[in-house]
Amino acid sequence: MIVVMRRDAKEQDIEHMVRQVESLGLKPTVLRGTERTVIAAIGDERAAAAIGVLESGAGVDEVLPVLAPYKLASLETKAEPTVVRAGSLTVGGGHLGVIAGPCSVESEEQIIATARAVKAAGATALRGGAYKPRTSPYSFQGLKEKGLQFLALARAETGLAVVTEVVAAEDIEIVAMYADVLQIGARNMQNYRLLEAVGRSHLPTLLKRGPSATIDELLLAAEYILDAGNQQVMLCERGIRTYEAHTRFTLPLATVPYLHLKTHLPVVVDPSHGTGHSPLVPAMARAAVAAGADGLIIEVHPNPEKALSDGYQSLTPEQFADTMAGCRKVADAMGIKM
């Protein structure tokens, strides 16, 4: 860490901060500049709330971290890319996984019809929510275990791996009975009790970025899962909240190459939530592939006008087939298996 002293810092402030740095187990070096003094604190700064401790010192202007706060997720810790495999789904290592299906499981017919359609178009896993976190208590909250059973039937029919959301630690056991991949939704990215429990489960996990999470926060959320012993983690960019109102969220695809420079974990993109409008999904799915995404997760509904949730961002099976065709051309051009 670098402790930047204020211009009017007294000599005793500097001496005090040197001792503070030492008391954290770090090695201080005092650098006196023309206008200010800075103290470099060398060592593993991640331990403890070191920044906070130093920032509240007298005469301190600011404290600049030098090391990334995450370790296990870092490319510096593990250089080869992690490949996540769950039944029919492979994500990473040159394979583009495609997870498709409705926002919510609504009925046996709906999920089986969707599973067949998305498989025919090239999807390699089926998504569908049984436990739904909904902004309003008056919205449809999901079919719960019944929904999980329908997902398992769809897997039996099509062979597609099942990806479904888990919203609380106490539900993991039942969800794990039916699902191949646990999804942690954006609202729960910092639900640490849930992250720890998913970590202990050792099930392949899709971790969605919270709509106001920084990349460091996303990687630290992954770190909770990795630290509990589960290495099968996919990160998912699904859009962030910005001032833009013509899309539901703003989808920052630079997340994909940036994460590939920082972490070995594979990166999945969700153009459905990332835009919130089905006419924008095909272009953003193609763009995600071109940006180097390791996977896509796309909402598809046999009849979006009748969907109990998120109809406006769901593709019809026909639109999804067209989207896949566009993505495949880009993937082929780039030498990605799809």
Contact 265, 223 (CB under 8 A): no
Helix or strand run (H / E) with residue 162: strand 161-165
**Comparison of 65 and 159: residue with beta carbon closer to a second copy:** 65
**Pairing label, strands 37-42, 2-5:** antiparallel
- Which one of the spans 84-92, 113-121, 173-181, 184-192 is the region binding a second copy (CB under 8 A)? 184-192
Rule CB under 8 A: which of 263-282 touch a second copy?
274-275, 278-280, 282
Main-chain phi, psi angles of 13, to 5 degrees: -65, -45
- Residue 168 binding a second copy, by CB under 8 A: yes
Rule CB under 8 A: which of 31-90 touch a second copy?
31-36, 38, 40, 42-44, 46-49, 51-53, 55-57, 64, 66-67, 69-70, 76
Helix or strand run (H / E) with residue 283: helix 281-290
Binding mask 218-257 for a second copy (x = CB under 8 A): --x--xx--x------------xxxxxxxx--xxxxx-xx
- Residue 15 binding a second copy, by CB under 8 A: no
Which member of 234, 265, 284, 300 binds a second copy (CB under 8 A)? 284
10 Å CB burial of residue 152 (0-12, 13-18, 19+) is middle
- Residue 114 binding a second copy, by CB under 8 A: no
| CB of 109 vs a second copy, minimal distance in Å | 19
Q: Which residues make Cβ contacts (< 8 Å) with residue 221, sequence separation at least 6?
A: 189, 190, 195, 207, 210, 213
Which member of 85, 116, 134, 200 binds a second copy (CB under 8 A)? 134
- Which one of the spans 87-95, 113-121, 153-161, 205-213 is the region binding a second copy (CB under 8 A)? 205-213
The full length of the chain comes to: 338
**Comparison of 51 and 83: residue with beta carbon closer to a second copy:** 51
Count of beta carbons in the 10 Å neighbourhood of residue 150: 23
Which member of 87, 93, 122, 133 binds a second copy (CB under 8 A)? 133
Smallest CA-to-CA distance from 63 within 81, 49, 47, 83 is with 49
